[in-house]
C-alpha cells in the first residue's frame, strides 16, 4: 500500500519538524508539503493534492476551522485531520461542521496519529479518545450547549454581523448598538477579515448560510 500523502498545516516550525520526523520514522506517510497559515494551507492543498491535511486550529490569518471549510469546498478529495490542543465543545463541533473528518489532540502517540491519518485517508471519521467520548455523548442525546455560529468572532462582532445580515447599514447599526460609527466600521472590517469575505453582500450570505439570526 503506498504511503499516505500528507500536508502539515501548523504555524510553529518546531511542531511541523516534529511531525515530519514522527511520520518519516513510522514509514506510513509521506509529507508532501507544509503550511504556516490557513491561507497557505488552502493553496497547498490545491497544489500538492495530498490525501490528508493535518490541520492546527490556531492559525494566523485564516484560522483552522475556516481553512478546513475552504479546503473541503475547493479540494473535496482531500481529508482534513485536526491536530490541536483545543478540546472544548466549540472547537470540536466547529471543526466537524466545517468538514473535518478527524480530530486528535496534540500529545497523541505516534501510533494514534498514524492510525488517524490512515483512517482519514480511507474516508473514515476518526477521533481521539477524549474527543470520541464528547462526540458519542452528543449523538446519544447528552448534547452540549449549542455553539454560537462563527466562533472566531467576538460577541460584539457577531452582533454587527447579525445586523448586517438584516440589511442594516453602519449608521443604523451604530444607533442600535449605541456605538460610534467609526467603531462599527472597524468592527465590520474585522468581521470581513476573519470571515475572508470581500464585502457586505458576501458577509450577509455567510451569515444567512450559518443561520445567524441575531
Could you give the CA distance from residue 134 to residue 195 in angstroms, rounded to a whole number? 27
State yes or no: pLDDT of 42 exceeds 80.
yes
Domains and CATH numbers, the chain: 4-139 (3.40.50.2300), 155-209 (1.10.10.10)
Assign 106 a pLDDT band (cuts: 50, 70, 90): confident
Could you give the CA distance from residue 48 to residue 98 in angstroms, rounded to a whole number? 21
Could you give the CA distance from residue 126 to residue 119 in angstroms, rounded to a whole number? 7
CA distances to 43, 73, 97, 143 from 135, rounded to whole Å, are: 30, 23, 12, 9
Q: Max alpha carbon distance in the chain (Å)?
A: 63
pLDDT at residue 88 in the model: 76
CB neighbourhood size of 113 (10 A): 23
pLDDT in tens, 141-158: 555 555 567 888 888 998
State yes or no: pLDDT of 207 exceeds 90.
no
pLDDT in tens, 117-139: 999 999 998 887 667 666 666 55
- 72 against 148, higher pLDDT: 72
- 83 against 134, higher pLDDT: 83
Assign 72 a pLDDT band (cuts: 50, 70, 90): very high
**Paired strand residues for 9:** 35, 55
Q: Record the pTM.
A: 0.64
CA distances to 11, 120, 170 from 51, rounded to whole Å, are: 20, 8, 44
Assign 183 a pLDDT band (cuts: 50, 70, 90): very high
Cell numbers placing 206: 455567510
Going along the chain, which residue ranges are E strands?
A: 4-9, 29-35, 52-55, 79-84, 102-105, 126-127
Task: Name the average pLDDT for the chain.
Answer: 86
Assign 107 a pLDDT band (cuts: 50, 70, 90): confident
Could you give the CA distance from residue 140 to residue 180 in angstroms, rounded to a whole number? 46
β 79-84/29-35 pair status:
unpaired
- 67 against 109, higher pLDDT: 67
Amino acid at each position: 500500500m503506498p504511503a499516505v500523502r500528507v500536508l502539515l498545516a501548523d504555524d510553529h516550525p518546531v511542531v511541523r519538524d516534529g511531525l515530519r520526523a514522527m511520520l518519516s520514522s513510522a514509514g506510513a506517510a509521506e509529507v508532501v508539503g507544509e503550511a504556516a497559515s490557513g491561507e497557505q494551507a488552502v493553496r497547498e492543498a490545491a497544489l500538492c493534492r495530498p490525501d490528508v491535511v493535518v490541520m492546527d486550529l490556531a492559525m494566523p490569518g485564516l484560522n483552522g476551522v475556516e481553512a478546513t471549510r475552504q479546503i473541503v469546498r475547493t479540494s473535496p478529495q482531500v481529508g482534513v485531520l485536526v491536530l490541536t490542543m483545543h478540546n472544548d465543545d466549540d472547537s470540536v463541533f466547529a471543526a466537524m461542521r466545517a468538514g473535518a473528518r478527524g480530530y486528535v489532540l496534540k500529545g497523541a502517540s505516534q501510533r494514534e496519529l498514524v492510525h488517524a491519518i490512515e483512517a482519514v485517508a480511507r474516508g473514515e471519521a476518526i477521533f481521539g479518545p477524549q474527543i470520541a467520548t464528547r462526540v458519542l455523548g452528543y449523538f446519544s442525546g447528552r448534547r452540549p450547549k449549542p455553539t454560537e455560529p462563527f466562533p472566531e468572532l467576538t460577541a460584539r462582532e457577531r452582533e454587527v454581523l447579525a445586523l448586517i445580515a438584516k440589511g442594516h447599514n453602519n449608521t443604523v447599526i451604530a444607533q442600535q448598538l449605541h456605538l460610534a460609527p467609526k467603531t462599527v466600521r472597524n468592527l465590520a472590517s474585522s468581521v470581513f477579515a476573519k470571515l475572508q469575505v470581500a464585502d457586505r453582500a458576501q458577509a450577509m450570505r455567510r451569515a444567512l448560510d450559518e443561520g445567524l439570526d441575531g
